[in-house]
């Protein structure tokens, strides 16, 4: 009987470190079958085969195939876009804008041809703008185009809190709003350890140090690696979002979502808490913010909007 049941299928575009590790997480957590696509067919095919050969050890029967042909991606439930160049030391996410806009726009349109009903998760940087671009080029409704940022940024903050307090990460919750960049908004008021507010556990200066490290979490890793950027935590964060969608979990997660008046912001992608399920973003969760928090979120949104304007200028110039 199980053979007649449709197995969930996820396409991961980009077989670099983030894409290949995302494919690994999805398969080994038994979330879905995976198609790994890359312009370098041999890399996608080789990594898919390597992951498949690990299956007997990892004890899963998920299909993992790779290549450059989008035919294999047909009827995917979710498409995860990781394609693009990674940051290098001294490079901001904004520096990636033009190069990655061309790559992301192209692969998004190609994936849509074969999976018109899929939900798209964008991981490529600069993330908020690439998510906006994906919505523009695919014409998909906003609930089916989501950026992976808040889950990652919140995970980083959760780790830093757990490290500071010497407690298990399992007991730590944290929320980070805003754009995936230097002006993101870590919210200490909505962060806690086993329900105890973070503000009751750490002094303000230590909380601010955690906030700063959270904002700089990506570049801290880039500076250590020198030749690449983070991929384990981004892959885990992407897999968590995929799992929420394909299993209709109704998870409340901070994601890069399209706002159309929520939080006083309109026609912009920015990180906010959402309910994530089979319908993609099924609800934007509006939480109460203080005036200073609102101002920080507005500043972050303004930074995203500035990059969106740059993108629109680039797109107009290329027409």
Q: How many CB atoms lie within 10 A of CB 281?
A: 23
Residue with the two structure tokens 């876009």: 81
26 and 160 together in one domain: no
Q: Which of 43-52, 61-70, 93-102, 300-309 has the lowest mean pLDDT?
A: 93-102
Domain final position from 113, 132, 147: 147
Confidence class for position 80, pLDDT limits 50, 70, 90 = very high
226 and 91 together in one domain: no
Residues 6+ apart with CB under 8 A from 104: 81, 83, 84, 122, 124, 130, 133, 134
Q: Strand order of the sheet with strand 185-193?
A: 172-177, 185-193, 196-197
Residues 268, 272, 278, 283, Cα dihedral to 10°: -90
Q: Work out the average pLDDT over 254-265.
A: 96
Residue 90, domain extent? 2-147
Q: What is the pTM of this model?
A: 0.94
Q: Work out the average pLDDT over 61-66.
A: 98
Closest by CA to 133, choosing from 258, 45, 47, is: 258
25 and 121 together in one domain: yes
Q: Which residues are catalytic?
A: 180
- Work out the angle between the directed axes of helices 97-114 and 291-318 (0-180°, nearest 10): 80
How confident is the model at residue 2, as a pLDDT? 45
Is residue 298 domain-resident?
A: yes
SS3 letters across 61-86: CCCEEEECCHHHHCCCCEEEECCCCC
132 and 170 together in one domain: no
Percent of the chain past pLDDT 70, that is, above it, reads 94
Q: Residue 13: enclosing H or E segment and its boundaries?
A: strand 9-13
Is residue 31 domain-resident?
A: yes
Kindly report the CATH number assigned to the domain that includes residue 60. 3.40.50.720
Q: Is the pLDDT of residue 76 over 50?
A: yes
Q: Residue 15: enclosing H or E segment and its boundaries?
A: none
Kindly report the CATH number assigned to the domain that includes residue 163. 3.90.110.10
Give the span between the Cα atoms of 209 and 196, in whole angstroms: 19
In terms of Cβ atoms closer than 10 Å to its own Cβ (0-12, 13-18, 19+), residue 168 is exposed
Q: Is the pLDDT of residue 218 over 50?
A: yes
Is residue 33 domain-resident?
A: yes
Confidence class for position 1, pLDDT limits 50, 70, 90 = very low
Q: What is the DSSP string of 179-234?
A: -SSTT-EEEEEEEEETTEEGGGTS-HHHHHHHHHHHHTHHHHHHHHHSS----HHH
Q: Is the pLDDT of residue 181 over 90?
A: no
Q: Is the pLDDT of residue 93 over 60?
A: no
Is residue 319 domain-resident?
A: no
CA distances for 146 relative to 17, 55, 152, angstroms: 21, 29, 14
How confident is the model at residue 228, as a pLDDT? 85
Query: What's the mean per-residue pLDDT of the chain?
Result: 93
Is residue 54 domain-resident?
A: yes
How confident is the model at residue 91, as a pLDDT? 63
How confident is the model at residue 37, as a pLDDT? 98
Pull the structure tokens for residue 106: 């192209």
* CB contact burial 72-99 (16+ within 10 A = b; e otherwise): bbeebbbbbbbbbebbeeeeebbebbee
97 and 157 together in one domain: no
Q: Which of 25-39, 54-68, 82-96, 142-156 has the lowest mean pLDDT?
A: 82-96
Our count of domains for the chain comes to 2
Q: Work out the average pLDDT over 173-202.
A: 94
CA distances for 212 relative to 93, 163, 304, angstroms: 17, 15, 19
Q: Work out the average pLDDT over 220-227.
A: 92
Is residue 57 domain-resident?
A: yes
Percent of the chain past pLDDT 90, that is, above it, reads 85
184 and 111 together in one domain: no
105 and 200 together in one domain: no
How confident is the model at residue 98, as a pLDDT? 82
140 and 156 together in one domain: no
Q: Is the pLDDT of residue 151 over 80?
A: yes
Domain final position from 128, 147, 166: 147
End-to-end Cα spacing for the chain: 52
Q: Is the pLDDT of residue 58 over 80?
A: yes
Is residue 315 domain-resident?
A: no
122 and 204 together in one domain: no
Q: Is the pLDDT of residue 316 over 80?
A: no
Is residue 34 domain-resident?
A: yes
Q: What is the DSSP string of 100-128?
A: HHHHHHHHHHHHHHH-TTPEEEE-SSSHH
Q: Is the pLDDT of residue 60 over 80?
A: yes
Q: Is the pLDDT of residue 283 over 80?
A: yes
Domain final position from 93, 125, 147: 147
140 and 167 together in one domain: no
127 and 219 together in one domain: no
**CA dihedral sign of residues 31, 32, 33, 35:** negative
Q: Which of 2-11, 126-135, 152-161 has the lowest mean pLDDT?
A: 2-11
Q: Work out the average pLDDT over 293-311.
A: 93
134 and 176 together in one domain: no
Q: Judge contact between 268 and 305, C-beta under 8 A.
A: yes
């Amino acid at each position: 009987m199980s053979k007649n049941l449709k197995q969930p299928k996820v396409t991961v575009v980009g077989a670099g470190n983030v894409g290949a590790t995302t494919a690994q997480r999805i398969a080994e957590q038994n979330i879905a079958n995976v198609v790994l696509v890359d312009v370098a067919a041999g890399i996608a095919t080789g990594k898919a085969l390597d992951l498949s050969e690990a299956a007997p050890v990892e004890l899963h029967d998920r299909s993992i195939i790779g290549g450059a042909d989008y035919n294999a991606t047909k009827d995917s439930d979710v498409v995860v876009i990781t394609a693009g160049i990674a940051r290098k030391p001294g490079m901001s996410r904004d520096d990636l804008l033009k190069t990655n806009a061309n790559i992301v726009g192209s692969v998004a349109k190609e994936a849509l041809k074969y999976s018109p009903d899929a939900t798209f998760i964008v991981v490529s940087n600069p993330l908020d703008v690439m998510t906006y671009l994906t919505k523009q080029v695919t014409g998909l409704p906003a609930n089916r185009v989501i950026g992976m940022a808040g889950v990652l940024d919140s995970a980083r903050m959760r780790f830093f809190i757990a490290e500071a307090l010497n407690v298990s990460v399992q007991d730590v919750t944290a929320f980070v709003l805003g754009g995936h960049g230097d002006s993101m908004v870590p919210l200490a008021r909505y962060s806690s350890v086993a329900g105890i507010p973070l503000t009751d556990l750490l002094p303000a200066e230590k909380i601010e140090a955690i906030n700063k490290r959270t904002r700089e979490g990506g570049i801290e890793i880039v500076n250590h690696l020198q030749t690449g950027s983070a991929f384990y935590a981004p892959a885990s964060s992407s897999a968590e979002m995929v799992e929420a969608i394909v299993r209709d979990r109704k998870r409340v997660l901070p994601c890069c979502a399209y706002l159309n008046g929520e939080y006083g912001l309109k026609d912009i992608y920015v990180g906010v808490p959402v309910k994530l399920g089979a319908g993609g973003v099924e609800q934007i969760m509006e939480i109460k913010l203080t005036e200073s928090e609102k101002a920080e979120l507005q500043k972050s949104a303004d930074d995203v909007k500035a990059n969106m304007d740059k993108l629109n200028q680039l797109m107009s110039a290329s027409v």
